[in-house]
Structure formats: structure tokens, C-alpha cells
Amino acid sequence: MASEHETPTPSSSFDPSLPKGQSCSDCPFCSISFIYAPYDPQNPPDARSRIIDPNLPSPGPSTFIVLSTPQVMAFLDIMPLSVGHILVCPRNHRPKLTDASQVEAAELGRYLRVLSAAVVRATGIKDWNVVQNNGAAAAQVVPHLHFHIIPRPELRDKRSERFTATMFGRGQRDDLDEGEAVVLAEKIRQEVAKVVKEDQKQQNSSKL
């Protein structure tokens, strides 16, 4: 299971314990991180591999993994705002952005760029939002730090106002089509592998 929440330096008025009901055992993202082992993003497992089987969380909702490293997880949103909507989070339980360690923050930043590029390639949609909410008042539903990467097919679409409202916690969202999700997740994993390899090649070239 994910590691314990890091305890800040105590003060006379500060309670370092997690709020009741917010422990790792109650967190759906911690459950996902426990179920799915890390794999090399440059060599993702085959779509039929048990390692990324969407049904592993059963009886919970199916999970379509697109990245699983020792520090960072990414998977399709089960109620997407658009095709290619994914969630990116640290593997360890961190309620808010300020709870992430420096290493986690650096890895999240790295893979937000990689995953953004992969989603653009996999969907063909060249505009997207990166959204991150902190706390219930800011429309954070799952109390585990996560970023949304949300493709935006057309800003001038008549549904734009509804889209923006829903993105911040208001409005109706549709369930993920699992048949389409299997294909899409595979596309994104393959594009992630390509982007990471390109980055590695560029890094090696800069050292020459």
C-alpha cells in the first residue's frame, strides 16, 4: 500500500494526523496504486497482459492504466469530459499539491508533459486543459492529489459553457465506454513510450 502521509514539524495548534475517513485504505487512487505494479514506460505491457488488466479492481470500477511508475500513476477518467481525459497522480497518498514531496512534484511535472504529448498524438486533438483542484471548496472530489489532462476538441462548440462548468465540479458527466477505453489506453501507452524514447534520445545527443 502507499506510504504514510509525511508528518510536518508539529506546532502547538497543528494536528498532523489525517482527517477521519481520509486514510489510504479509503482512497480509490491508493487502491489503484496498490493493485497495479510499476512498469517501464518505454516498454509498456501488451494490452492483454495481466499487469494492466482493467478488471483487477473488481468489484470496483474498471481501471485503464496509461502510465505506472514507482512515483506516478495515470489512467483514464471513468467519467470523461472528452475522449482522452486522463488523471495523473502520485502513487503515494498525498491529499493536496502542497503535500507532495520534491521528488514526486518533479516526476509529476515530467510526466504531465509526456502524457500531454501522448494524449495529443493518440486523440489527434491539439488543444487541452491541465486542471488540478485542492480541497472540496475547489471541487476536488477524491482527496488524493491528481491532475486532469482534458482534450478540448473545439472551444467554440455550443457545449463549451457546460464543459467548463462540469470541469470545475458542476453539471453532468458521461460514463466511460469500456470497449473504446481498451483501445484508447493502448494508444496512449504506446505514444507515451515513443515520447519517453524521444526524450531519452535527445538527452543523449545533448551530452555528445
Catalytic residues: 146
Q: Which three cell numbers, joined as nine digits, stand for 40?
A: 517501464
- Counting beta carbons within 10 angstroms of the beta carbon of residue 139, is it exposed (0 to 12), middle (13 to 18) or buried (19 or more)? middle
Q: What is the DSSP letter of 1?
A: -
Give the three cell numbers for residue 82: 472528452
Cell numbers of 41, please? 514506460
Query: Could you give the 3-state DSSP secondary structure of residue 74?
Result: strand
Closest CA to 148 of 59, 85, 54: 85
CA distances from 23 to 94, 98, 128, 135 (A): 10, 17, 32, 15
What phi and psi values does residue 127 have, to the nearest 5 degrees? Answer: -120, 145
Return the SS3 of 129: strand
Q: Report yes or no: 151 and 77 within 8 Å, Cβ to Cβ.
A: no
